[in-house]
Amino acid sequence: VNAAQLQLLLQAVASGATSAADAHAAIAQLPFEDLGFAKVDHHRELRKGVGEVVLGQGKTAVEIARVCTALLARASSVLVTRVTADAAREVQVLVPQLVYHASARTLRAGTVAPRAGRVAVVTAGTSDGPVADECTETLAAFGIAADRIADVGVAGIHRLFAQLERIAAADVVIAIAGMEAALPSVLGGLVATPLIAVPTSVGYGASFGGTAALLSALNCCASGVTVCNIDNGFGAAYAAHRILRAMDRVRSAA
Amino acid sequence: VNAAQLQLLLQAVASGATSAADAHAAIAQLPFEDLGFAKVDHHRELRKGVGEVVLGQGKTAVEIARVCTALLARASSVLVTRVTADAAREVQVLVPQLVYHASARTLRAGTVAPRAGRVAVVTAGTSDGPVADECTETLAAFGIAADRIADVGVAGIHRLFAQLERIAAADVVIAIAGMEAALPSVLGGLVATPLIAVPTSVGYGASFGGTAALLSALNCCASGVTVCNIDNGFGAAYAAHRILRAMDRVRSAA
Amino acid sequence: VNAAQLQLLLQAVASGATSAADAHAAIAQLPFEDLGFAKVDHHRELRKGVGEVVLGQGKTAVEIARVCTALLARASSVLVTRVTADAAREVQVLVPQLVYHASARTLRAGTVAPRAGRVAVVTAGTSDGPVADECTETLAAFGIAADRIADVGVAGIHRLFAQLERIAAADVVIAIAGMEAALPSVLGGLVATPLIAVPTSVGYGASFGGTAALLSALNCCASGVTVCNIDNGFGAAYAAHRILRAMDRVRSAA
Amino acid sequence: VNAAQLQLLLQAVASGATSAADAHAAIAQLPFEDLGFAKVDHHRELRKGVGEVVLGQGKTAVEIARVCTALLARASSVLVTRVTADAAREVQVLVPQLVYHASARTLRAGTVAPRAGRVAVVTAGTSDGPVADECTETLAAFGIAADRIADVGVAGIHRLFAQLERIAAADVVIAIAGMEAALPSVLGGLVATPLIAVPTSVGYGASFGGTAALLSALNCCASGVTVCNIDNGFGAAYAAHRILRAMDRVRSAA
Amino acid sequence: VNAAQLQLLLQAVASGATSAADAHAAIAQLPFEDLGFAKVDHHRELRKGVGEVVLGQGKTAVEIARVCTALLARASSVLVTRVTADAAREVQVLVPQLVYHASARTLRAGTVAPRAGRVAVVTAGTSDGPVADECTETLAAFGIAADRIADVGVAGIHRLFAQLERIAAADVVIAIAGMEAALPSVLGGLVATPLIAVPTSVGYGASFGGTAALLSALNCCASGVTVCNIDNGFGAAYAAHRILRAMDRVRSAA
Amino acid sequence: VNAAQLQLLLQAVASGATSAADAHAAIAQLPFEDLGFAKVDHHRELRKGVGEVVLGQGKTAVEIARVCTALLARASSVLVTRVTADAAREVQVLVPQLVYHASARTLRAGTVAPRAGRVAVVTAGTSDGPVADECTETLAAFGIAADRIADVGVAGIHRLFAQLERIAAADVVIAIAGMEAALPSVLGGLVATPLIAVPTSVGYGASFGGTAALLSALNCCASGVTVCNIDNGFGAAYAAHRILRAMDRVRSAA
Amino acid sequence: VNAAQLQLLLQAVASGATSAADAHAAIAQLPFEDLGFAKVDHHRELRKGVGEVVLGQGKTAVEIARVCTALLARASSVLVTRVTADAAREVQVLVPQLVYHASARTLRAGTVAPRAGRVAVVTAGTSDGPVADECTETLAAFGIAADRIADVGVAGIHRLFAQLERIAAADVVIAIAGMEAALPSVLGGLVATPLIAVPTSVGYGASFGGTAALLSALNCCASGVTVCNIDNGFGAAYAAHRILRAMDRVRSAA
Amino acid sequence: VNAAQLQLLLQAVASGATSAADAHAAIAQLPFEDLGFAKVDHHRELRKGVGEVVLGQGKTAVEIARVCTALLARASSVLVTRVTADAAREVQVLVPQLVYHASARTLRAGTVAPRAGRVAVVTAGTSDGPVADECTETLAAFGIAADRIADVGVAGIHRLFAQLERIAAADVVIAIAGMEAALPSVLGGLVATPLIAVPTSVGYGASFGGTAALLSALNCCASGVTVCNIDNGFGAAYAAHRILRAMDRVRSAA
């Protein structure tokens, strides 16, 4: 469905190198493998730079295992997010090479080549740790180096200032904060790097499961801060990957 | 209804100094004046330290004027909040001594003796000005000195640090901020004074009319910050009055 | 980062008493201790009058224990809030001097000197007890005397009137109420003291987890009542501490 | 469709007094008149004790006029609610006997016989007046005597106590309050009469257009208080009519 | 605090029959008994016609038992609502005469005299049963006869029509419905009796825990239907008691 | 209550073939069977084309079993939805012919004749499976053939295009999707068949239990897509039945 | 992008009848015309059975006029929805053949052939008229006959029963209702035809702009009722078109 | 406050080159200019790469003009966002070099040097134009080239595919969409570039002012899409600037 590929394929058909039926099959069927309950997207690495990441939530252990097996048959690594400890144990029986990270709630297997670029993963409080863990596990699965800076929320702002040089030196900054999520606003006024806010569900009462932090991040008075879903450490890591990939294109062009 | 007054009155009845019927009337009817559409609470100054403040919103100009006239007949000053410019003009025809503050949307008349204590009224942005104006007009009506510090939001946090000594020196700090309202959180971590947050409706989209700022203030990671309704500059000033009055009691006791 | 301290330090550098590198370290690194997952703010007692209080929610038992140990190494007392009974048991194995209050869900250790001032902690119903417990445990940890007045909600308003003298005599009043939280409104009209409302999640259906009580408190028709997050007994106690500290400054000045 | 009527009609058919076709027509078509855009329910007075009340909101002036004309052709009185001043002027050109009440926003014509029973219409503040006006206009249209008691909100609770005897003497009490609507809770604990709460949209910010008052009324800690929609003075009057009608049945049976 | 009682008492003081101190105690302290964690309102039966009902939710079993014991010491019956099965078992060990109704989640003891009047308790679906059970248990505790009509929701409207005579014959109708709660609207158009809607949390997804049913009931197009909180069968029964009591006053006057 | 039936019955009464009393009973009582806690609607198959489906949620196992037994006494098949595994086991002891589908959470018994028409049940992700299972189980209970197409969400849109011919060939398309539910929008622009969207609760954080998917479906930019409640696979199947029945009427007329 | 068309085109390329470049252009560029600010979808009639309908909201009059002109250059008719009276006047100057319907807020031009099938457009109240007008104007633009039945809301349910035969005879029923929207639930239990609910914003207070009606429709206890966005008369008409088109396919196959 | 600058300054003080008082002033006061109502941040260009952008909303015309004048005194260009046409006219009288863009609602003056990198600004519908205009005006003010691609929403997905090559070639993609905002999800699955979603308030009813689009973007099933506030075209442009600046750092390093 990529326009360039389509044109190539059509030229192959025109030249007789490929039959129309084969071309049609190539376009419509090749990029994924149908497991019945799931369609595994082997094509995604080409299209997006990293392979398909499996969302564990809502899948049975057997379903997770089958998707991982299918992916590992063609790729060197795999990542599953939002896996409970119970489900992880069941999956690991079926796919033993998967390693579980209890706080990040991820399963991961395989090795990836290290990439250029460094991402600062900054949390406001200790309780935001699990979201930061999902984030750094995802970065690791993509071969990206993470610099983890914990517990620098604005209630003791001198702790943040002491880390400022280190944060400003990163290529991308991910600010993870719950409650009123003031951290992205303060950071956004201090650093010029791409800055991604991850509101977390840390809090109670009028936090409404992270809604307060989410609204805070969306209304950030510092300009150009973008936002992920509540507790979505994975998504922030993936957005960082998109930015580092854009920086890689500059490197390749140089 | 105050227990001490009740006991005094009952003793007067027991001693024959007051008849039962008179005592009953004294308890139930004295403290207010019935205008039909409103019951003016002349007793409030005794009970609360400052006189009744009139909420202009939802009242006709004639109703506002009649309440002000009734209050001014027994008190030296009066304050009306949330008055539109149109209503103010009509009221001023009927009660010419009232002065209108267009940004604060208040009508005010009379003089009050200056009181001990100083309140810092700090705003995050220029757009929060009208809420701060309502706040400082209310403080003025109560005889309280306000120190107004504008536009020190966290997106340029050095502007805030430059004012820190001045803010920390106040007896009460009122932090007024819209959008994501990060200011109370940062201030709350830096000063030990009583700190009252006023979220404002400044913002758009997911600000939801100040809801984002309100939730932010309620989930403030700095401890002991209390919160007023959205855009309620009057309420914050009144809460400051309560605190200064508590400090006055210490002064009186000293 | 405090401007006054900064100027002192700069003068020391100018006079040669302190080297530039030492001054820089002093400013940026001294006030906290880095445990990796947390940055313990030893400086907070100086800055805020009381030491750092640990939020137990979202932290593992080991993390809580390590932060407490670090704090107790330099301070005479510590308080942890929002600790489940299970977590408390684990923490107590590691830090045996901590005492758990099951209803308040707090861990506390050490002694504090009693302070001037008295706080009335008033609840609308028996079910609001745990929030009041968190509040009085926090006050105790700060050396503040609490006067607990239970079950005086407005459905039987004579119960409230019978306690009015006692409530009005306090320096600060904390009104804790769930359901429709009418208590702060009634109290706010009767007493002139600083009044802090704590809405609670007591209720069902359209209480929406305390949202009804929260909105009620924020829209309080009695003037100058300020509000804490739902169930935030700790925050109200801390706000009371801020006010008592302001009263102490008057005492010191006298 | 009433079962008793159906049986009577069937007996008439069985006896030959009525043909089947006539009976069918009688059941399905008699009770309303079809104006095309509206079906006027002439039968409602029999079924409900009072005639159909017209909701003016969303109808054009011509539609309102045509429905009123159709109703007045068969009934001695008519009531229209939620009519803007502009629409009222247009309607009055077409149906001159209609009288407009500007604050209640009602049009009314005709006379009704006075009925037994008295309803207390109690408001918390002056700004709740228009809702109380809609309520008393509706009561008047139903022939019910209203006792209007204004401005007895809980911020000055002695004003309420002074009216308590008068309120408790009514057959039904309607409590109208905006902001945090604490009035129904306090009243509900003091009087044993049927008590209907009408939350109003008076307020700003976190009042959310009367939502705070609505939630407050629904979570009322005083037992057995029932609630109408925000600003629905008409609905409360109608509910009072239902109760007075039940009391009339006792009178008839006596 | 009741004005009439106050005047009587004042006359007693004036005549010397009562001393001022005694009178003060009588007014402020008599009506309730202080258990420390709760203030039991023995006065409520006089003031409201039925005794205090205990809300079990949020109270410990020991607290429930102590309040019941205090109430039973002075009254012939007691009712506790929202008690879990586990709590009930514990309470029953301490207060054996209490009987638990598992579906209604109520504890009840003692006998009450039967009263005039009949209340129809109508449910839309079988799943609304527990709310109807709480309602009928409360009516029983107040001596009121209930006519239970189950499963007549509007999806099969002929089931409702078959019960219409029976419903219309009641003095008060309570309509209990979840999901979209169309039942009160249909009933409200058919019967002229007082009609109380109880929205329930029956449903899923966009029912939002009964919010859809609540909003439906509040926007009821049939006039004069009043509404209780979600799942509040107790409140509806109490409101019916208020209406039946008003009807009793007519009977007494006849 | 159906007008045609009513006229027939009235003619029978007029001709003497039926007595008035019998006719009344026929109209009001025949169509359902009263089990006390439930009124089983045997008439529904005639009125709606398929028999009554039992909502298991909120019913006890005994209640479910009794309703199923009553239905199976007069019908050849029965379907119960939203039954937990625990409840199912209890019901199956009482009604052994019921078969439980664990993912669909349905109990089903009996056979139905296959009907014309084919419904495509399309899911965005594997986690939407249980909702699709409820949908296809319902279709099976109605004798309708389902074509299940899994995991074609828009994040890998080529997977969807590969199935487009198959989807477009169906008579009705049901699109089941959680998270942001973009699938109905994309499908709605590509196929001209009736298209029913079922938002699911798959997601986390700002999914708010499926609210994001629901709002997305309701705001679908592709025209003429209609929406069911969150996770309501049953409702979508029933809506498909309504459409297929309309198509059957064309077939019968041909 | 349709798979069948793709295969045909690929065969044409394979046979040499079409060049690869031409095929690519055919696939990617043919179906729409680029006006810069808009891409007019001339292909939509083929794909969906009716031409593109223009959403007037948010477009300038000039933009609307240019899109209409482009569409009319290739099609015999055009429909624009959500056009204000002011915008309509401006557009009509530029495209004079467009006719404005003030209540429906639509612009329409051209003629369409009448189609088989009849749609009942049923409204609960007179105020729902404009939404019904948008619906019937859209049906008219698609050549579909509408049977408009007004003001049959459930508060006077006999008005609905009198129209039942007429409603049940339609191929598709569209039920339009505001406030609590009980109409779709009652209708859904009585008719077996496809039934589409359109909640409207008619109401006030807790109607929250139609949210109450929307939630009511989504939680409809009658099975298989599907829902459109609030006030979306156009969408319901389009959904009816999809169903009638499915019925046409049966006719063609017969 | 930047740590590096602080150390430099401290060394200057240590060496005697700068006095302590001067250093203190330099740190705390230099970076902004105090206009009383606003503190203009001249330092921001150094810190963030572009100068301070003025939020026009909530500021008076005179305030806007004074801030612009202060900024233009030290910088070559200025941008003001969210300015109404009326305010713009007033400002332009005072600062004539400002040019107003009516659809973007921006005021802009001065020239900026063109920068490397290209941003694709993609809209779902014509009505999203004003948000895209604010975005491209901001990019222009930052010297960034924008590629504007309009009206490629998913209801006619072939329009999107025809532009895919052009979109994928950009360095950053900004996807602007209202209603259900499916565009970011589809784009996110097709391109690997950094992708920023801007939900817009285009829509009605259950769009809730853009909330549906916002939730849709936050729950995007395509990985690594980040989100701005509703209608925040400015914020997306600023986030793109942050990313291009990171790419510039790679260029500088090469």
**pLDDT (tens digit per residue) in E106-161:** 999 998 899 999 999 999 999 999 999 999 999 999 999 999 999 999 888 878 88
Q: Would the pLDDT of C254 be above 70? A: yes
**Mean pLDDT value across residues E188-194:** 92
G110 burial (CB, 10 Å; 0-12 / 13-18 / 19+) is: middle
Taking CA atoms, B67 is separated from A2, B139, D161, in Å, by 74, 21, 21
User: Is E158 in the D-facing interface, judged by CB distances under 8 Å?
Assistant: no
User: Is A206 in the C-facing interface, judged by CB distances under 8 Å?
Assistant: yes
Say if the Cβ atoms of D2 and E164 lie within 8 Å: yes
- pLDDT tens by residue, F170-183: 999 999 999 999 99
Q: Which two tokens stand for residue F96?
A: 């052994």
Nearest to A10 among G3, G13, G16 (CB): G13
Encoded amino acid at H153, one letter:
G
- pLDDT tens by residue, B70-113: 999 988 899 999 999 999 999 999 999 999 999 999 999 998 89
Residues of chain G contacting A19 with CB distance shorter than 8 Å? 14
Average pLDDT, chain F: 89
Residues of chain F contacting D19 with CB distance shorter than 8 Å? 14
Q: Would the pLDDT of E7 be above 70? A: no
Say if the Cβ atoms of E152 and F201 lie within 8 Å: no
Q: Give pLDDT, residue C35.
A: 81
* Beta pairing, strands F145-149 & B54-55: unpaired
The residue of G5, G9, G13, G29 whose CB has the most chain A CBs within 10 angstroms, and thus the best one to mutate to test that interface, is: G13
Q: Would the pLDDT of C69 be above 80? A: yes
What is the least distance, in Å, from the CA of E163 to any CA of chain D? 9
Say if the Cβ atoms of H125 and G55 lie within 8 Å: yes
**C224 torsion bin: left (phi>0), alpha (psi -120 to 50), beta (else):** left
User: Is C19 in the H-facing interface, judged by CB distances under 8 Å?
Assistant: yes
The residue of G147, G158, G161, G164 whose CB has the most chain D CBs within 10 angstroms, and thus the best one to mutate to test that interface, is: G158
Residues of chain D contacting C218 with CB distance shorter than 8 Å? 180, 205-206, 212
User: Is G13 in the A-facing interface, judged by CB distances under 8 Å?
Assistant: yes
Q: Would the pLDDT of C30 be above 60? A: no
Q: Worst-scoring range by mean pLDDT, A230-244, B122-136, C137-151, F18-32?
A: F18-32
Residues of chain B contacting H44 with CB distance shorter than 8 Å? 156
Q: Which two tokens stand for residue A32?
A: 């994924």
Q: Give pLDDT, residue D44.
A: 67
Q: Give pLDDT, residue E39.
A: 82
Using 50 as the pLDDT threshold, list the residues of chain H that sit under it: 1, 29-30
- pLDDT tens by residue, F186-225: 999 989 999 999 999 999 999 999 999 999 999 999 999 9
Whether A and E touch (3+ CB pairs < 8 Å), yes or no:
no
What is the least distance, in Å, from the CA of D208 to any CA of chain C? 9
Average pLDDT, chain E: 89
Which chains, if any, share at least 3 CB pairs under 8 A with chain G? A, D, E, F, H
Residues H181, H197: contact at Cβ < 8 Å?
Answer: yes
What is the least distance, in Å, from the CA of F20 to any CA of chain D? 5
Residues G90, G106: contact at Cβ < 8 Å?
Answer: no
A73 burial (CB, 10 Å; 0-12 / 13-18 / 19+) is: exposed
Q: Give pLDDT, residue B232.
A: 98
Residue H235 CA to residue G84 CA, distance in Å, equals: 31
Residues B206, H229: contact at Cβ < 8 Å?
Answer: yes
Which chains, if any, share at least 3 CB pairs under 8 A with chain E? B, C, D, F, G
Torsion angle of alpha carbons D10, D16, D22, D28, nearest 10°? 0
Whether C and G touch (3+ CB pairs < 8 Å), yes or no:
no
Q: Give pLDDT, residue H1.
A: 40
Q: What are phi and psi of F252, to 5 degrees?
A: -60, -35
- In chain D, the residue whose alpha carbon lies closest to the alpha carbon of F19 is D14
The residue of G43, G159, G226 whose CB has the most chain F CBs within 10 angstroms, and thus the best one to mutate to test that interface, is: G226
G201 vs F158, higher pLDDT: G201
First to last CA, chain B: 30
Nearest to H235 among A49, A224, A249 (CB): A224
- pLDDT tens by residue, E47-85: 677 888 999 999 999 999 999 999 999 888 999 999 999
User: Is C208 in the D-facing interface, judged by CB distances under 8 Å?
Assistant: yes
Share of chain G above pLDDT 90, in %: 70
Nearest to A189 among B154, B190, B211 (CB): B154
User: Is D229 in the E-facing interface, judged by CB distances under 8 Å?
Assistant: yes
What is the least distance, in Å, from the CA of C156 to any CA of chain D? 6
- pLDDT tens by residue, B119-158: 999 999 999 999 999 999 999 999 999 999 999 998 888 7
Q: Give pLDDT, residue C27.
A: 55
Q: Give pLDDT, residue D40.
A: 80
Q: Give pLDDT, residue F148.
A: 97
Q: Give pLDDT, residue B3.
A: 52
Residue A17 CA to residue A142 CA, distance in Å, equals: 37
Q: Would the pLDDT of E21 be above 70? A: no
Say if the Cβ atoms of B150 and H230 lie within 8 Å: no
User: Is D112 in the E-facing interface, judged by CB distances under 8 Å?
Assistant: no
**Mean pLDDT value across residues C167-187:** 96
Residue C157 CA to residue C153 CA, distance in Å, equals: 7
Q: Would the pLDDT of A193 be above 70? A: yes
- pLDDT tens by residue, C40-55: 876 666 567 788 899 9
User: Is G14 in the A-facing interface, judged by CB distances under 8 Å?
Assistant: yes
Residues of chain F contacting E209 with CB distance shorter than 8 Å? none
User: Is E164 in the D-facing interface, judged by CB distances under 8 Å?
Assistant: yes
Give H10-53 as a DSSP string.
HHHHHTTSS-HHHHHHHHHHTT-EE-SS-EE-TTHHHHHSSPPP
Average pLDDT, chain G: 89
Give C39-93 as a DSSP string.
EE-TTHHHHHSSPPPEE-TT--HHHHHHHHHHHHTT-SEEEEES--HHHHHHHHH
User: Is D224 in the E-facing interface, judged by CB distances under 8 Å?
Assistant: yes
Q: Give pLDDT, residue F38.
A: 83
- Confidence bin at A29 (pLDDT 50/70/90): very low
Q: Is B190 helix (H, G, I), strand (E, B) or coil?
A: helix
Q: Would the pLDDT of G30 be above 50? A: no
Q: Would the pLDDT of C103 be above 90? A: yes
Q: Worst-scoring range by mean pLDDT, A231-235, B178-182, H19-23, H36-40?
A: H19-23
Beta-carbon pairs below 8 A across chains D and G: 68
Q: In what order do the strands lie in the sheet with B54-55?
A: B54-55, B77-81, B106-110, B99-101
Q: What are phi and psi of B221, to 5 degrees?
A: -75, -20
Q: Give pLDDT, residue A50.
A: 82
Q: Which two tokens stand for residue B206?
A: 């997911």
Q: Which two tokens stand for residue D62?
A: 């011509």
pTM: 0.91
User: Is E125 in the F-facing interface, judged by CB distances under 8 Å?
Assistant: yes
User: Is C216 in the D-facing interface, judged by CB distances under 8 Å?
Assistant: yes
Q: Give pLDDT, residue D156.
A: 80
Using 50 as the pLDDT threshold, list the residues of chain D that sit under it: 1, 29-30
User: Is B206 in the A-facing interface, judged by CB distances under 8 Å?
Assistant: yes
Residues D233, D197: contact at Cβ < 8 Å?
Answer: no
The residue of A157, A183, A227, A229 whose CB has the most chain B CBs within 10 angstroms, and thus the best one to mutate to test that interface, is: A157
Q: Give pLDDT, residue A1.
A: 41
